[in-house]
Amino acid sequence: MTEFAPPGTRFCALPSPFPMKRGGVLHGARIAYETWGTLSPSRDNAILIVTGLSPDAHAASHSGNPAPGWWEAMLGPGKPIDTTHWFVACVNSLGSCKGSTGPASLDPATGEPYRLGFPDLSIEDVADAAREVVRALGIERLACLIGNSMGGMTALAFLQRHPGVARTHVNVSGSAQALPFSIAIRSLQREAIRLDPLWNEGRYDEDSYPESGMRIARKMGVITYRSALEWHGRFGRVRLDPERRDEDPFGMEFEVESYLEGHARRFIRRFDPNCYLYLSRSMDWFDLGEGAGGDAMAALAALRVDRALAIGANTDILFPVEQQQQIAEGLRRGGNDAGFIGFDSPQGHDAFLVDFARFGPAIGGFLAALR
């Protein structure tokens, strides 16, 4: 049960008690965040970034932490999100293990980790916690709210629950609700973790850790983050050299298997399994149309922003590009100025993390038009 807040992380205390959508409250909770740039005297140049399932708040390097961030090419001086003009805050999601309060955090009532005693987590809770960071920074209205992947869900929930706080919105590979295919994949990931005997109903520790379950869950996730086109282009049917193959007759034989294994092993001890379960389920539960009779389009039409942009990759199978198109169409139905771009990127869902030649100009151009 370990938390992994990067150096230079700042913390925002949440109101105590902090009520959760599905019941229960948190006491003494906090949200991890980082900032870049300078807030203008009129406090009108602020951008908030809400993230996917696994990232921390370290989106880019800064004086407090010079290590490259997960969106390094997108954020900084002269980059698409230009910090010579914009003041940018990125939050780590409530329920994570990267500094924000989650199942791996200590429950102040017991002095022990919450584990499965953590209240049920919803995307709406993540959005409400992010709102508190904006409030703590003294920002009345954001110039733009940017959300990618799960953060695209969080951003829509933020707009719905806190109207008027964001002037514009960029939704990157996000969605207004979870689709059956995505739910199915995430349910298998959670099952892999829970079926590992060392998970032990969430009562594991560093010496008795559900490594096999986490490894399989991460492999399944990575497979869906990229497209079949990219898998074929990168690996084809290339086999491992004999000295790199397992002695197990059913062990690794192909380069793609070795890649997945390496990726999984780099991840599994850097993310808490219970946090993974909670965040994964929060995405499956999310439906922006829940309060509109299940009509996501009606819920999108009820949102209000000055301008919006929804973008994604045509090869994304986890958050299909049709979902970003739905966001733009729903916003336009309500009279909002909303654009949509589907990129012919081969990288699938992860395209926004690597295909900066396409995603960078779109986001940078949108923000430049706001100045």
- Which amino acids are annotated catalytic? 149, 316, 349
How many Å apart are CA 139 and CA 284, to the nearest integer? 31
| Residue in 300, 293, 342 with CA at minimum distance from that of residue 321 | 342
> Sign (positive/negative) of CA torsion 80, 44, 150, 8?
positive
Measured CA to CA, the distance from residue 52 to residue 127 in angstroms comes to 12
CB 173 within 8 A of CB 150: no
115, 203 Cβ separation under 8 angstroms: yes
C-alpha 202/C-alpha 223 separation (Å) is: 25
Q: For the CA atoms of the chain, what is the radius of gyration? A: 20
How distant, in Å, are the alpha carbons of 129, 221, 251, 273 from that of 92?
Answer: 10, 20, 37, 17
